[in-house]
Amino acid sequence: MSRIAVLIVAAGKGERAGTRLPKQYERLGGRPMLRRTVEAFAAHFANQECPVQVVIGPGQQALAAEALAGLALPAPVTGGATRQESVRRGLEALASFFPGGDAPDFVLIHDAARPLVSSRVIGDVVKALEGGADGALPMVAAADTLRRKGLDGRWTLVPRDGLYRAQTPQGFIYAAIASAHRDHAAHDVTDDAALAELAGLKVDMVKGEEKNIKVTRNEDFALAEKLLGAGDVRTASGYDVHKFTVGDHIMLCGIRVAHDHGLEGHSDADVGLHAITDALLGCVGEGDIGQHFPPSDERWRGAPSWKFLDHAAALVAAKGGVVSHVDVTLICERPKVGPHREAMRAKIAEILKIELSRVSVKATTTEGLGFTGRREGIAAQAIATVKL
């Protein structure tokens, strides 16, 4: 299998977007745009080792740390005064990443401001490289009528036949593009494919996508939000029950709640997190919690249930999904959920790495009826919504 690395260029100031923060750190669909971009590649390469190296601007360390919190990434590299210099520094950081101090075979260079890149485009760039190309460039045919303004102020029609718009990721043989950046550092080019061609490399075209927009201006955020809303939206439910046993506390939605009983279970018996876990697994067709964490496996005896939910969220991400919303209802007479509700919401949001507004925790009783009414145990039901 080819050794592939990804270089995400996020060193710009993003001033044309007119946003409060550099545009790559602004939220898009509730998450920083840079994080969405990184996660698109992490999901595509989930089943193989592929470092995703981010290059950031000077003074952006705190912003990057917040945007990328929880992701297993190499430390960000600080870029230079130009995009070209930033890419060169990123390439140098990847030079000895693999075991034995080896460099990658191929590198994909991508703009942080293209968060909607699809797995299909990424895969086609890799296929072109593995097929023998020195480089691969996704492109989209120009569809609009084009006009050029001359020095005299007059506009002339530019035939659009044969005109294409270049996108990223642009993929290259690592050694070849690293050499091109070293040898042609004095040239000012608009993208890496232009530099590669300047160095005599063969760059093949692959089919890009209209959805793979570059978020440049403020109005682009609205378009990107609209595009994020498209696609496959799935919902699934989860349900769990645990009975009371001897103890002095229970775990509910990741929060330790003092109680005159405990909950019986192989793990920490957190009915809330178990129900949400099953709902997320259902959204991506991955069975139920017992298949992934069987009670017969001693590794999970007493295990904290946040690990189960984190695993389910990782499976969603590996399939290119985004957790849009989760709603859990706790069914019990005691303990009272209200005093702990906000802490529970915050814990679930932290585990799933989503906005607090996308988490709902409710509670109800059965008016003294059934096993919950007799205070023999606690039940929970959950619904999850995932965008794929």
Q: What is the pLDDT of residues 166-209, one digit of tens each?
A: 999 999 999 999 999 999 988 888 789 999 999 999 999 999 99
Q: Looking at residue 19, what is its pLDDT?
A: 62
In the three-class reduction of DSSP (H, G, I as helix; E, B as strand; rest coil), residue 347 is classed as helix
Domain with residue 239: its CATH number is: 3.30.1330.50
pLDDT at 230 over 60: no
Residues 189 and 256 in one domain: no
Our count of domains for the chain comes to 2
Residues 381 and 356 in one domain: yes
Whether the model clears a pTM of 0.85, i.e. scores above it, the answer is no
Give the contacts of 233 (CB within 8 A, at least 6 positions apart). Answer: 324, 385, 386, 387, 388
DSSP state of 98: B
Q: What band does 221 get if pLDDT is binned at 50, 70 and 90?
A: confident
Q: What band does 223 get if pLDDT is binned at 50, 70 and 90?
A: confident
Tracing tokens 């005691």 back to the chain, one arrives at 334
pLDDT by residue (tens digit) across 91-107?
999 999 888 889 999 99
The partner residues of 27 in beta bridges, in order of sequence, read 32
Question: Rounded to whole angstroms, how far apart are CA atoms 350 and 62?
Answer: 18
pLDDT by residue (tens digit) across 26-45?
988 778 999 999 999 999 99
Residues 245 and 140 in one domain: no
pLDDT at 18 over 60: no
Residue after which a domain boundary falls, among 229, 246, 266: 229
- What average pLDDT does the segment 40-56 reach? 93
The partner residues of 107 in beta bridges, in order of sequence, read 5, 172
Residues 273 and 323 in one domain: yes
Give the contacts of 273 (CB within 8 A, at least 6 positions apart). Answer: 251, 253, 254, 305, 306, 308, 309, 348, 351
Question: Rounded to whole angstroms, how far apart are CA atoms 333 and 336?
Answer: 7
Q: Do 329 and 364 meet the contact criterion of CB atoms below 8 Å apart?
A: yes
Q: Do 227 and 211 meet the contact criterion of CB atoms below 8 Å apart?
A: yes
How high is the mean pLDDT of the chain? 92
Give the contacts of 325 (CB within 8 A, at least 6 positions apart). Answer: 358, 359, 360, 384, 385
In the three-class reduction of DSSP (H, G, I as helix; E, B as strand; rest coil), residue 246 is classed as coil
Torsion angles phi and psi, residue 218, rounded to 5: -60, -40
Q: Looking at residue 16, what is its pLDDT?
A: 54
pLDDT at 17 over 70: no
- What average pLDDT does the segment 275-287 reach? 97
Residues 223 and 288 in one domain: no
Residues 167 and 259 in one domain: no
Q: Looking at residue 287, what is its pLDDT?
A: 95
Residues 11 and 80 in one domain: yes
Instruction: Supply the range of the domain harboring residue 357.
Output: 233-387
Q: Do 227 and 209 meet the contact criterion of CB atoms below 8 Å apart?
A: no
**Which helix or strand (DSSP H or E) is residue 149 part of?**
strand 146-149
Please tell me which residue, 365 or 161, carries the higher pLDDT value.
Answer: 365
Residue after which a domain boundary falls, among 213, 229, 245: 229
Please tell me which residue, 26 or 383, carries the higher pLDDT value.
Answer: 383
Q: What band does 160 get if pLDDT is binned at 50, 70 and 90?
A: confident
Residues 206 and 306 in one domain: no
pLDDT at 229 over 80: no
Listed in sequence order, the DSSP H helices in the chain are: 33-44, 61-67, 83-93, 119-130, 174-183, 192-198, 218-229, 271-283, 289-292, 306-318, 341-352, 370-373
Please tell me which residue, 54 or 159, carries the higher pLDDT value.
Answer: 54
Please tell me which residue, 20 or 259, carries the higher pLDDT value.
Answer: 259
Domain with residue 109: its CATH number is: 3.90.550.10
**Residues above pLDDT 90, as percent of the chain:** 74
- What average pLDDT does the segment 113-118 reach? 95
Q: Looking at residue 373, what is its pLDDT?
A: 93
Task: Give the least confident one: 185-194, 301-310, 336-345.
Answer: 185-194
Question: Rounded to whole angstroms, how far apart are CA atoms 177 and 84?
Answer: 12
pLDDT at 156 over 80: yes
Residue after which a domain boundary falls, among 206, 229, 252: 229
Residues 237 and 220 in one domain: no
Distances (CA, A) of 43 to 37, 104, 173, 283, 388: 10, 19, 22, 16, 12
Residues 220 and 254 in one domain: no
Give the contacts of 98 (CB within 8 A, at least 6 positions apart). Answer: 3, 49, 104
Residues 111 and 23 in one domain: yes
Q: Looking at residue 231, what is its pLDDT?
A: 62
Q: How many CA atoms lie within 13 A of 38 on its CB side?
A: 25
Residues 186 and 311 in one domain: no
pLDDT at 216 over 90: no
pLDDT at 388 over 80: no
- What average pLDDT does the segment 105-130 reach? 96
Distances (CA, A) of 88 to 221, 281, 346: 29, 41, 40
Amino acid at 122: I
Q: Looking at residue 14, what is its pLDDT?
A: 60
